[in-house]
């Protein structure tokens, strides 16, 4: 009984193989997408034109050849620029001879697009700053305690002269980061642009994420600048306080000596209300919420 089952299974397998070989020997039509590759550029030339990524072919061929085409390694459709420069309009059908592997096995019925328009230009290089494209979302109460730090901050870029003239920076690929609550480092890839080469493929970005808090700083002395030798300005009071906001680690290292408050003698002379508003310079990565008092009274003494 078991022997009969084996014979039956073998017969079924043989039937499928026979059916498949007969079917794959017939001719069929199918569509094939091939990566478009431009070749034979003059030395030191390229193109940055917006051209299709793929060429679509309508082909006729034996089934087994069509199967091998679809399941095999990715194939290219090569279009030659004929070592020439300037504006180019090239028919894709005329480049079938550059892709003889297609003609040897298949009959090409149609090609789309039928023509390709692009510009071949001289390659130039320059140093451009990198601009990270980040969409950041923080946990409640957290935020960036300092500016983004990224390395390298500039890269060498080579590309077609017509486009390079207008390029002022290189944006990274867009990255989204959510629920941030601590300091992290990320590797962010740079985009792939036709006709361009970059000295780096990625940049390293450091995000100094901290809990954002407020802190009161008191007894900041206010200085009056540009006072004539025969004058003296007395301020009431001569010290101010302020409330600042920033990362908890940043504010933890602050002291009033890192703040500078001042006003100019001319501000006092030009005042018409009897009090002046001092200026306040705060350390980097802090935001001043308010000062107290906001205005200072004064007396001008002459000698």
pLDDT at 15 over 60: no
Q: Are residues 223 and 176 in the same domain?
A: no
> In this structure, are residues 119 and 159 in contact, taking their beta carbons and an 8 Å threshold?
no
160 and 195, same domain (yes or no): yes
Residue 222 lies in a domain: yes
Rounded-to-integer distance, Cα 150 and Cα 289, Å = 29
Which of 92, 121, 150 marks a domain boundary?
121
Residue 104 sits in the same domain as residue 171: no
| pLDDT tens column, 69-91 | 655 555 788 899 988 889 999 99
The whole-angstrom separation of Cα 35 and Cα 43 is 23
Where among 162, 187, 211 does a domain terminate? Answer: 211
Residue 287 covered by a domain: yes
pLDDT of residue 102 exceeding 90: no
183 lies in the same domain as 254: no
- How far apart CA 65 and CA 73 sit, in angstroms, is 13
Looking at the structure, tell me whether residues 77 and 103 fall in a common domain.
yes
271-303 tens-digit pLDDT = 999 999 999 999 999 999 999 999 999 998 887
Residue 13 in any domain: the answer is: no
The Cα–Cα gap between 205 and 188 comes to: 7
pLDDT per position as a tens digit, 37-77: 999 999 999 999 999 999 988 877 775 566 556 555 557 88
Mean pLDDT of 249-270: 94
Query: Cα–Cα distances in Å, from 257 out to 145, 215, 234, 281, 282?
Result: 20, 15, 21, 11, 10
For position 65, what pLDDT does the model report? 62
Domain span holding position 72: 26-121
Cα separation, 85 vs 165, in Å, equals 18
Chain-wide mean pLDDT for the chain?
87
Q: What is the pLDDT of residues 194-237, one digit of tens each?
A: 999 999 999 999 999 999 999 999 999 999 999 999 989 999 99
> Does one domain contain both 131 and 65?
no
What SS3 class is residue 19?
helix
pLDDT at 2 over 70: no
Looking only at the bridges linking them, the beta strands covering 149-151 and 275-276 are unpaired
User: What tokens were used for 291?
Assistant: 């000062």
Mean pLDDT on 87-106: 81
Q: What global pTM score does this model have? A: 0.70
Q: Are residues 221 and 148 part of one domain? A: no
The pLDDT value recorded for residue 233 is 93
Q: What is the pLDDT, as a whole number, of residue 64?
A: 56
* In a domain? residue 132: yes
Domain co-membership, 126 together with 116: no
pLDDT, position 59: 79
Looking at residue 5, its pLDDT comes to: 54
Asked if the model's pLDDT at residue 12 lies above 80, the reply is: no
Q: Are residues 206 and 247 in the same domain?
A: no
What pLDDT is recorded for position 183?
94
| 41 & 86 share domain | yes
**Residue 196 contacts by C-beta under 8 Å, 6 or more apart in sequence?**
48, 157, 158, 159, 160
Whether residue 11 has pLDDT greater than 50: no
Task: CATH number of the domain at 92, please.
Answer: 2.170.120.30
Residues 161, 98: one domain?
A: no
Domains held by the chain: number: 3
- Residue 266 domain-assigned (yes or no): yes
Q: 105 pLDDT exceeds 80?
A: no
What is the band of 22 on the pLDDT scale with cuts at 50, 70, 90? very low
- pLDDT at position 14 is 45
Distance between CA 87 and CA 51 in Å, rounded? 13
Q: Is residue 1 part of a domain?
A: no
**Residue 9 lies inside a defined structural domain of this protein:** no
> Measuring CA to CA, how many Å separate 250 from each of 145, 214, 256, 279?
7, 11, 13, 22
- pLDDT for 303 equals 78
Q: Same structural domain for residues 47 and 133? A: no
CA 220 to chain centre: 42
- Residues 139-168 have pLDDT tens digits of 999 999 999 999 999 999 999 999 999 999
Last residue of a domain, one of 146, 177, 211: 211
Please indicate, yes or no, if residue 17 is contained in any of the structural domains. Answer: no
What CATH number did the domain enclosing 151 receive? 2.170.120.40
């Amino acid at each position: 009984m078991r022997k009969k089952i084996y014979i039956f299974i073998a017969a079924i397998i043989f039937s499928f193989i026979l059916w498949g070989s007969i079917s794959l020997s017939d001719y069929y039509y199918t569509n094939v997408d091939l990566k478009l590759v431009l070749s034979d550029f003059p030395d030191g030339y390229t193109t940055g034109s917006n051209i299709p990524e793929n060429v679509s072919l309508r082909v006729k061929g034996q089934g087994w050849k069509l199967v091998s085409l679809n399941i095999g390694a990715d194939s290219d459709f090569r279009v030659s620029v004929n070592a020439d420069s300037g504006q180019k309009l090239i028919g894709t059908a005329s480049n079938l001879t550059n892709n003889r592997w297609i003609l040897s096995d298949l009959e090409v019925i149609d090609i789309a697009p039928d023509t390709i328009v692009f510009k071949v230009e001289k390659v130039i290089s320059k140093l451009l700053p990198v601009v990270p494209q980040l969409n950041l979302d923080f946990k409640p109460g957290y935020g960036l305690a300092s500016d983004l730090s990224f390395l390298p901050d500039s890269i060498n870029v080579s590309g077609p002269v017509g486009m390079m003239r207008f390029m002022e920076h290189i944006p990274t690929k867009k990255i989204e980061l959510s629920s941030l609550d601590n300091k992290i480092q990320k590797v962010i890839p740079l985009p792939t642009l036709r006709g361009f080469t970059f000295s780096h493929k990625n940049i390293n970005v450091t995000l100094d994420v901290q809990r954002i808090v407020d802190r009161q700083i008191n007894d900041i002395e206010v200085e009056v600048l540009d006072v004539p030798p025969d004058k003296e300005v007395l301020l009431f009071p001569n010290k101010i306080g302020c409330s600042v906001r920033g990362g908890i680690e940043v504010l933890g290292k602050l002291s009033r000596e890192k703040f500078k408050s001042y006003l100019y003698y001319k501000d006092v002379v030009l005042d018409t209300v009897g009090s002046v508003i001092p200026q306040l310079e705060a350390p980097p990565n802090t935001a001043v919420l308010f000062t107290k008092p906001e205005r200072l009274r004064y007396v001008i003494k002459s000698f």
